Amino acid sequence: MANRSTKVGLIGLGVMGTPLARRLMADGYGLVVHDRNPAATRPFLRRGAQPARSPREVADAARVVLVSLPRPAVVRDVALGRDGIVHGARVRTFVDLSTTGSAVEKEVAAGLAARGIATVDAPVSGGAEGAAAGALAVMAAGHPRAIAAVRPLLRCFGTVFVVGREPGQGQLLKVLNNLLSSTALAITAEAVVAGVKGGLDPATMLAAINAGSGRNSATADKFPKWVLPRTFAFGHSIDAVCKDAGLAIDEAQALGVPRWVGGAAHALWQYARADGGAALDMTALVTFVERWAGVRVRERRKRRARR
């Protein structure tokens, strides 16, 4: 069982991994860290974390290894590659916090199980802001004993939902969650741009929508915080949205479930990525709709009252 006297491995110190590492250290856990960008590890080394030159070195030092990585292929290589976690001498539990998709998660779990390493499939939702606040939704799947052993760690990040006994089930829920989120943002962009072109104030629109039946994560959070101020800094790129939505579309197709709405939203995100938007923050999707419509979404300046 993971406790505060145990070294915990963490691989991947990017947009999500960095605040997750901070949460663990703030809760008193000692870390063994690795990232392919050495600069990402330095703030944690200064605070006492142990460096590792490879995933295998992390797995040589820690019984529990968590990963927060950008793509399924990277997760597969870190877990099962030539210098991967599977070859570690000490590791007994692998915890995948990434958005990996069920197919790769099952492949990784099978490869690790052959070496006596349990997998806890535990993707997280809530963005970098939620990670920093310890307010993520953690969607955990795996053997009950494996989940129980790492549950104190996962609680550092937010609320833990045990969604299944098989690795891959957490991933299924996560990509469906992300498809819902990205579809909500896409339709909100279209609706708000249409309202602005019709002469409505976007801030007033959002306030009314959020008091009514159209409320969603984009109207309640992303548009007020990152679209109206034009900061576009939620912390998840358009390219990453395309990856996540694509994984969800693949899951639906494999299950024989129609994907009319999700497929249409995915097409819009793919268009934005192809039109030069891959590296842009996901909230910048609205700028593509604005360009097509010939208007710009911005909060109206309040007029000064005449004396």
Mean pLDDT of 74-101: 98
Domain range for 87 is 7-166
Mean pLDDT of 20-24: 97
CA distance readout (Å), 30 to 2, 21, 134: 11, 10, 18
Between 269 and 307, the higher pLDDT residue: 269
- The active-site residue out of 174, 222, 225, 243 is 174
Residues 178, 162 share a domain? no
- The answer to whether 174 is a known catalytic residue is yes
In a domain, 275, yes or no: yes
Residues 75, 56 share a domain? yes
Residues 130, 104 share a domain? yes
What is the domain-level CATH number for residue 286?
1.10.1040.10
Residues 16, 152 share a domain? yes
Percentage of residues in the chain with pLDDT exceeding 90?
A: 94
Residues 113, 192 share a domain? no
In a domain, 202, yes or no: yes
In a domain, 241, yes or no: yes
Q: What pLDDT shows up at residue 142?
A: 98
pLDDT greater than 60 at residue 217 = yes
Q: Which of 166, 199, 230 is the last residue of a domain?
A: 166
Q: Which of 117, 149, 166 is the last residue of a domain?
A: 166
In a domain, 304, yes or no: no
- For the chain, what is the domain count? 2
In a domain, 1, yes or no: no
What is the domain-level CATH number for residue 61?
3.40.50.720
Residues 202, 159 share a domain? no
- What pLDDT, in 10s, does the model give residues 25-84? 999 999 999 999 999 999 999 999 999 999 999 999 999 999 999 999 999 999 999 999
Percentage of residues in the chain with pLDDT exceeding 70?
A: 96
Residues 73, 162 share a domain? yes
Q: What pLDDT shows up at residue 298?
A: 87
In a domain, 281, yes or no: yes
Mean pLDDT of 182-189: 98
Residues 138, 208 share a domain? no
Residues 180, 208 share a domain? yes
pLDDT greater than 50 at residue 200 = yes
Residues 196, 139 share a domain? no
Q: What pLDDT shows up at residue 306?
A: 47
Q: What pLDDT shows up at residue 299?
A: 76
User: Is the Cβ–Cβ distance between 298 and 193 less than 8 Å?
Assistant: no
- What pLDDT, in 10s, does the model give residues 109-138? 999 999 999 999 999 999 999 999 999 999
Q: Which of 166, 183, 212 is the last residue of a domain?
A: 166
Residues 251, 128 share a domain? no
Residues 287, 199 share a domain? yes
